[in-house]
Amino acid sequence: MGIPDKVVNRLTLYHFILDDLRENEEYISSTKIASLLNIDNSQVRKDIKYLEDSFNNGIEGKCRVGYNVKNLKLKIEERLGFKQTKDVFIVGAGNLGSALAKYDSFKDYGLNVLAMFDKDPKKIGTVINGKEVFDISKVGNLVQRLCVESAILTVPREYAQGTANYLAGSGIKYIWNFTTCILDVPKDVKVWNENLIGSFLQFTNNEKEEETKNDNRN
Amino acid sequence: MGIPDKVVNRLTLYHFILDDLRENEEYISSTKIASLLNIDNSQVRKDIKYLEDSFNNGIEGKCRVGYNVKNLKLKIEERLGFKQTKDVFIVGAGNLGSALAKYDSFKDYGLNVLAMFDKDPKKIGTVINGKEVFDISKVGNLVQRLCVESAILTVPREYAQGTANYLAGSGIKYIWNFTTCILDVPKDVKVWNENLIGSFLQFTNNEKEEETKNDNRN
C-alpha cells in the first residue's frame, strides 16, 4: 500500500535528521525532531505510528527517552524503499539536468541515473558524472533495452511538451517534470511537477507571515 | 494576508498553463485546467474563488466559456507578487547553486539573485550568469549594504549547519534550504526545506499507485 505523499515527505526529513546524529546518540525524542522542523510534536508521533503500523514489529523506543535512532532509521529506509534502486533517465543535459546528474545524494535514496539525453550535438557523447549523454532519438531504444520507465525532464520550457510527447511515445510512463510547462500527456503517463517557482513563492509568502511553520508544505 | 501554501503552489501551476496559451485563446475553463493537472475541477474553482475574494472586482468569466485568460493571469501575478522583486543570495556556487543562478525563469516570478558566495578560492571572483561569486566572509557586509534577508543554501551537506549559523549571525532571516541537512537555527530565522529526495520518493511512490493524482502534493 502506498504511503500518503505528505508522510513520505516528512519521513524523509526525519531521516535527514537521524542521518546527521553522531554514533553515540542512541535515542531521539519526537520533541527534538518536531522542534528542528518547527512542526507539531503530535505530527511526528503520528507519522512514526503510521510507519510502525506497517511493520509487524514496532519501532523500538524507551519511555521518556525516545525512539531508537538506528532502528527508526532502518524502518524509514525499508518502508520508503531506499535500497530498491529506481533507474531513471535525465532528459535535457543543460544546467539543471547536469546538476541533478551530479547530485550524489540521490544515490543514497535509491535514485540511479542510468543515462542522459539531449539533442545538442555538442553535448551528445559527453559524460557527466559517469552518465553518458545520448542523442534524444535513442530514448525509445534504451527504454526498451534497459527497461526504464521514469524520466527527469529538464529541457527548456519551449521543448517540454514536444519532448514529453516523444517520451510518452517511447514507453516512458513516469515523468518528473522540472520545467515550468504543464504537460499534456496520455492517461497512462504520470507526471510529478517539481514546482520550484511555487516553492520560491511559498518561501517568500512565508516572509510575510511570521507565525508560519518551517516545513509548512506539510 | 498570506495565502495558504498549497493554494500558492496550485495558482503557480495555473499560471504556467495560462502562460502557455496562445494569443487567440481568450477563455479557459476550470475543467481544462483541472484535466491538465489531473486534479478536481472543484479544487480549481475553489482556488480561483479564493483569489477572486481577495480583490474587490472579480475575475472576469463568461458562463459556460470559462475564465478570461488575460485577466486571470494578471490577478495571479498581482496576488502572488510576481512584479515585486525579491532579492536573494545564493550561498554555495557548486553545481546546483550555479544551475539555480542560471535558471532564468526565476526572474519572471520576481526572484532576483543579487550575488553568490563560496569559500573555494577558485570560484571566488568568477561570474555566473551575471552574478559575481564573493568570498563567504563577505556575506555580513553585503547583507547590510544591499538589505538582503534571504539566502538559497546550496553548499555540500557537511557544511550546511556551519554555513547556516554563519548566515544567521550575518543577518539572514530566510533560508531556502536545498541541502539534505535539517538546519538548527535561531527562532528568528525561517527555513524552507526544498526536499528533492522527498519529491523523488513521492514520485516513485506514485509509480505503485495507479490511481494517484498528477499533482498530488496538493
> Under an 8 A CB cutoff, do A181 and B209 touch?
no
Mean pLDDT by 10 residues, chain B (218 residues): 86 95 87 94 94 77 82 93 92 96 90 96 97 97 95 96 97 95 94 92 65 42
> Under an 8 A CB cutoff, do B196 and A8 touch?
no
Residues of B in contact with A102 (CB under 8 A): 95
Summarised one tens digit per residue, pLDDT across range A129-159 is 999 999 999 999 999 999 999 999 999 999 9
Higher-pLDDT residue of A215 and B39 is B39
Band the pLDDT of A218: cuts 50, 70, 90: very low
For residue A176, the one-letter residue type is W
Record the pTM: 0.88
- The SS3 assignment for B186 reads coil
pLDDT of A30 higher than 50: yes
pLDDT of A108 higher than 80: yes
pLDDT at A206: 55
How distant is the Cα of B6 from the closest Cα of chain A, in angstroms? 7
Nearest to B199 among A16, A194, A214 (CB): A194
Closest CA to A19 of B179, B30, B176: B179
Question: For the packed helices A41-53 and A69-80, what is the interaxial angle rounded to 10 degrees?
Answer: 60
For residue B57, the one-letter residue type is N
CA distance A125 to B141: 44
pLDDT at B111: 93
Residues of A in contact with B180 (CB under 8 A): 16, 19, 105
ipTM value, please give it.
0.87
pLDDT at A211: 38
> Under an 8 A CB cutoff, do B99 and A103 touch?
no
Strand order in the sheet with A131-135: A127-128, A131-135, A111-118, A86-91, A150-153, A174-177, A190-193
Higher-pLDDT residue of A149 and A211 is A149
- The SS3 assignment for B217 reads coil
pLDDT at A65: 79
pLDDT at B113: 96
How distant is the Cα of A149 from the closest Cα of chain B, in angstroms? 9
> Under an 8 A CB cutoff, do B36 and A182 touch?
yes
Chain mean pLDDT for chain A: 89
Q: Strand locations in chain B, DSSP E?
A: 27-28, 61-62, 66-68, 86-91, 111-118, 127-128, 131-135, 150-153, 174-177, 190-193
Identify the bridge partners of residue A187 per DSSP, sorted by sequence position.
none
CA distance B90 to B112: 10
pLDDT at B206: 55
Summarised one tens digit per residue, pLDDT across range A151-199 is 999 999 999 999 999 999 999 999 999 999 999 999 999 999 999 999 9
